[in-house]
Amino acid sequence: MRCTLAVPALTACFILALATTCLASEAQATAQATAQEAALAAQAAALPEPAAAIPAPPAGTKAPSNIDTPPAFTRRPVARNRPVRPDLTFAVKPAPVEFRGLAWGSDLERIPGLLPVTKPVTLAGTFFRPDETLRLGEAEIRSVAYYFPKGKLTGVGIIFEGQDNFFLLKDHLIELYGPGRQMGDRYGWTWNNFFIDLRMRENLGELRYATQP
């Protein structure tokens, strides 16, 4: 009977000791977990705050390809198509439509008082006025010739002498048509279908008005 009673007592002691050990292990594990949570919380508090998120670009924009490209959320201004202006004219005012009352394209047969040029040589289709005023603006001129290559007035040629007359003619034309363009020893004005050319060589100058196709 004593042995029978001793076995349950030993078993109870063993179970009690085992339970005590389990409780101690759980308490230790809980303490370790609490300590780890506290350490993680301290580390998180020490980290810097995250930067604010960049807003997403609107639809239809592209991300920048290099540092010089504006950011994706900035739209470039739309470039407008500009008409191409042909560089056909150096004059700022309209071309002359006539010379001393004779319109370009006038018929030779309808202009009285013109005589053909025969001296020093005969020039086909070239005529002059015997009563021509030999002055243009403030400049003195030597002669004026009218060109009718096909019976229509297409141009006028004026001969003059001296640098003084060259600059007087140039100033006169600038006053009428605005600044022209210097081309070597020539100064001129150009339009779509007309030009004026002023040149000087060895003290002899020429001023020419001419239509062009």
Mean pLDDT by 10 residues, the chain (213 residues): 45 49 55 61 59 58 51 57 57 91 96 92 92 96 96 96 96 94 89 94 94 84
Number of domains in the chain: 2
The residue segments making up the domain with residue 12 are 1-39
Domain assignment present for 172: yes
Shared domain for 108 and 200, answered yes or no, is yes
Q: Is residue 140 in a domain? A: yes
In a domain, 117, yes or no: yes
Q: Are residues 133 and 206 in the same domain?
A: yes
Asked if residue 34 belongs to a domain, the reply is: yes
pTM of the full structure: 0.58
Are 196 and 136 a contacting pair, CB within 8 Å? Answer: no
Tell me if 57 is assigned to some domain: no
Is 71 inside a domain boundary? Answer: no
pLDDT at site 44: 56
pLDDT of residue 109: 94
CA distance 206 to 43: 96
